[in-house]
Amino acid sequence: MKITSMDLSELGLDLWFQNQADELCQPGQRIARVTAVDRGWYVVRNEEGEVPARTTGRFLNSTDSTMDMPCVGDWVCVNYDSENSATIHAVLPRRSYLHRKSAGKNVEMQMIAANIDVAFIVQSCHYDFNVARLERYLVMAGEGHVASVLVLTKTDLVSAEDLEQLIAAIRGAGISTRIIALSNVTGAGLDQVIELMGPGKTYCLLGSSGVGKSTLINRLTGQDTLKTGTVSDSGEGRHTTVRRQLIVLEQGAMFVDTPGMREFGLFGATEGIGECFDDIRELALSCRFSNCSHTNEPGCAVLPAIAGGDLPSEHYGNYVKLKKESDLNVTAYAEKRKKGKPSGNAGHSATKQTKKQK
């Protein structure tokens, strides 16, 4: 059915999603965007405002993976049951997504957010900084077709020299992603975030607890929209943010705040790894054997680059580690599904699930 949605463009709706909606939404249903998720409850927003929503039993029966469930940023077909409640009937295919394997041995896959234009990968200059973890986030974003910007917060707590060293460590690892260093306290660097924001665009903040994700959004809204929490003496956050939430700023940009996560796994991230480690990918093209493992093969182009200092060995080590982990998790997940215990899906399968509903 045809749905007019001029105003929804301010929430990020464009022709691509509109076409999916025309196909998937049934007569009487409308398009809305999921702006919050909290244990089985949702909040959806359209041109008129936000209302709480639930999924239908039929929708639940048609999903076979936690990743098919609506997540923040999703576009959905909804019925407005009354002025202040709605039911979700279908999730439109995702153009981009952020997903992860939760920490630990279990193979649980989880959607973090959907239809994100840019991921702000946030680390604090004070205690939290870790290049290998930055790379892990970069791979996750690249895999889901989300562009990345690195944000270093709390510059007010370190010296200019310390900050320079952190940036040098990032560049030294071969990461060329844009870096914004800022202080939520003094406001220095915030203009660079504001400059980057575009109307109708959706940004997602990712990073450990306590790095200042919610504080940054509060700075941008100019109000205490979100709850923030103090950190321990060692800089550890207290997991103040507990739900994922999409905030629409007055300037027109949208921000997804997420609960802090320190450990998370990757799965099926071959494309994201290739993108983040494109220096290694490029070198490997010159290896004599196309299936070179870069461990002991003759004619390997990667090993001499490491030996010669052109390729930082930590950067390479992290590449090997992430690749192995991602492949292992895909295998473990496939095994689990074979045993008939579905709980996630190694792709963004909203397409499959919504098609099935038709």
Positions that interact with ligand GTP (CB under 6 A):
153-154, 156-157, 183-185, 209-215, 228-231, 237-241, 259-260
Distance, CA of 186 to CA of 91 (rounded, Å): 41
Cβ neighbours, 10 Å, residue 180:
18
Site for Zn ion in 268-287 (CB under 5 A): 287
Cβ neighbours, 10 Å, residue 310:
12
Cβ at position 235, least distance to ligand GTP in Å: 9
Ramachandran region, residue 328 (left: φ > 0; alpha: ψ -120 to 50; beta: rest): alpha
State the binding string over 225-254 for Mg ion (x if CB under 5 A, else -).
---------------xx-------------
Answer for the pair 50, 22: CB distance below 8 angstroms, yes or no: no
Cβ at position 35, least distance to ligand GTP in Å: 17
By CB under 5 A, name the one of 292, 306, 311, 322 that touches Zn ion: 292
Give the interface segment with Zn ion, choosing from 178-186, 203-211, 300-308, 340-348 (CB under 5 A): 300-308
Cβ at position 230, least distance to ligand GTP in Å: 4
User: Judged by CB under 5 A, does residue 72 bind Zn ion?
Assistant: no
Cβ at position 202, least distance to ligand GTP in Å: 18
What is the amino acid identity at position 21? A
State how far Cα 59 lies from the chain centre.
24
User: Judged by CB under 5 A, does residue 153 bind Mg ion?
Assistant: no
DSSP state letters, 319-333: HHHHHHHHHHHHHHH
Distance, CA of 227 to CA of 152 (rounded, Å): 20
User: Judged by CB under 5 A, does residue 208 bind Mg ion?
Assistant: no
DSSP state letters, 52-113: EEEE-HHHHHH--SGGGS--TT-EEEEEEEETTEEEEEEEPPPSSEEEEEESSSS--EEEEE
User: Judged by CB under 5 A, does residue 300 bind Zn ion?
Assistant: yes
Cβ at position 284, least distance to Zn ion in Å: 6
Give the interface segment with Mg ion, choosing from 73-81, 193-201, 209-217, 299-307 (CB under 5 A): 209-217
The footprint of Zn ion (CB under 5 A) covers 287, 292, 294, 300, 302
